[in-house]
Amino acid sequence: MYPQHTFASETDTPAPAPGSQNSAFLEEKAFRARTVLVFGTITDIVAAETVRRLLALDAESSAPIDMIVSSPGGHLESGDAIHDVVRFIDSPVNMIGTGWVGSAATHLYLSAPLERRVCLPQTRFLIHQPSGGAGGRASDMALQAREIIKARERIAAVIARQTGQPLERVREDIERDLWMPATEAISYGLVSRIIERRQELTRF
């Protein structure tokens, strides 16, 4: 699903983690390796951090960026932000799925061209239509329902474009949760191939 989430206030600054110095070291190593990690629920905070890293890496060089994705999904518009920025920057992005890639995470994963979409052997993928909690006045509920339908059509169009599947089939497939292991995701057109080692990641 693409649920709405409650976000922390911008004034709520979390206390530094005990291993923050080590985390900074790992962040620096990941940056030098041109690797971006997208793990966990996709929120506006995750999207902002991911976009910031993508823009910084793109400003440094036009060499490929590796994005490793393991996420159940999250907020649709946050996924949109990452999706659009991947297509906006000059540096090509290699999408590497691992764990599970679901919902809004699948949406951002599809921002890369097929030949740059790979996954590790145990990865599972999920596609389905967006959903949202409708409440309040009848007029508000009707407006939310129309927006969900628009979002569903937009998501279906992206999946169809990026996988080569007929739009009508995609519409039918996302009516319910459609889980795919890596091999089925290849057949569907979500993934180009399965890799087991970094050396197998082709550089274009």
Name the residue ranges covered by the structural domains of the chain. Answer: 33-194
Please list the helix, strand and coil fractions of the chain in percent, rounded to the nearest 5, in that order. 45, 20, 35
| CATH superfamily membership of 33-194 | 2-enoyl-CoA Hydratase; Chain A, domain 1 (3.90.226.10)
Q: What is the average pLDDT across 34-44?
A: 96
Is 75 noted as a catalytic residue in this protein? no
Residue 3: is its pLDDT beyond 70?
Answer: no
Rounded Cα distance between 74 and 77, Å, is 9
State residue 5's pLDDT score: 35
Interval 127-142: pLDDT, tens? 998 765 455 566 666 7
Q: Does 83 have pLDDT greater than 50? A: yes
- List Cα–Cα distances, 46 to 27, 73, 182, 195, in angstroms: 15, 11, 25, 26
pLDDT at residue number 2? 40
Q: What are phi and psi of 114, to 5 degrees?
A: -55, -45
Of the residues 75, 83, 107, 128, which is catalytic? 128
* Residue-level pLDDT at 199: 87
Q: Which of 77, 92, 75 is nearest to 36 (CA)?
A: 92
**pTM higher than 0.85, yes or no?**
no
DSSP state of 194: E
pLDDT value of residue 21: 63
57 or 201, which is more confident? 57
The HSE-up count of residue 27 (CA atoms within 13 Å, CB side) is 11
Q: How far apart are CA 204 and CA 202, in angstroms?
A: 6
pLDDT for position 75: 92
User: Confidence class of residue 26 from pLDDT cuts 50, 70 and 90?
Assistant: confident
Paired with 179 in beta bridges are 126
